[in-house]
Amino acid sequence: MNVNLTEEEIAFRDEVRTFFAEKYPADIRDKQDKGIRLSRDDTIRWQKILCEQGWFAVNWPEEHGGTGWTSIQKHIFANEMAAVNAPAIVPFGVSMVGPVIYTFGSEEQKQRFLPDILASNVWWCQGYSEPGSGSDLASLKTKADLDGDHYFVNGTKTWTTLAHVADWIFCLVRTTSDVARRQEGISFLLIDMGTPGVSVKPIITIEGDREVNEVHFENVRVPVENLVGDEGKGWSYGKVLLQHERTNTARRPGHSIDSNA
């Protein structure tokens, strides 16, 4: 992409270059350059540095802590980030569930979850795919049955990246089975990974890495206030999430997180 930068954009590019020269930790740079797997602590430390600069939530609206950058500024930032081989931003919080929460969530959910996503205090994973429901996601079978002020969740999610180091998972679950279209009756639920009944089983890749997992839910009790938006509208919210994922300017993770480091 050939871009003729304005004086203001050149100044911005120089500011970004100075930031990377001064704030990119030498030990993380060394690991990146040598292809050494980063620990969770390494990645969190780097994301907190970006947050302190106000440059973490590139695509968020300014009122929720976003940058307010133009498309050219985002392009400049992505190029400079790639030029120094800076770590990829883990997308599940800032690029996936965050936009769903600030678009469809309640004010209480925004206040509860968004600050910790921005500060990388809480790590998220994505509960979409299931055994037998990968490309045909609308056939998902994980159920969330409402009982008073809680849902009881039962089912399995698979190929769940970084579930073994995540604090929370956002899930598409089936809250209604008697529907005309399979896409109906699916809801968007936020689940604390520490809740009794949640268990994680590793899927070891051919390279011997543990990046993806199976997540099992057995009578997991989830407060109804963890439902994002309206019950039965999760399919629509999930599509919005995928749009944010595809337009994310930060690179996707190309490495595993070493949870033992």
Confidence of residue 90 (pLDDT cuts 50, 70, 90): very high
Cα(134)–Cα(58) distance, integer angstroms: 29
pLDDT of the residue at 255: 47
Taken as a whole, the chain contains a residue count of 261
**β-strand partners of 168:** 124, 192
Q: Report the share of the chain in percent with pLDDT over 90.
A: 79
Radius of gyration of the chain (CA): 19
- Give the other-Cβ count within 10 Å of 33's Cβ: 10
Catalytic residues: 245
pTM: 0.89
Q: What residue ranges define each of the domains in the chain, with the CATH number in brackets?
A: 7-89 (no CATH), 96-246 (2.40.110.10)
Out of 5-14, 95-104, 119-128, 245-254, pick the least confident: 245-254
- Give the other-Cβ count within 10 Å of 175's Cβ: 20
Confidence of residue 114 (pLDDT cuts 50, 70, 90): very high
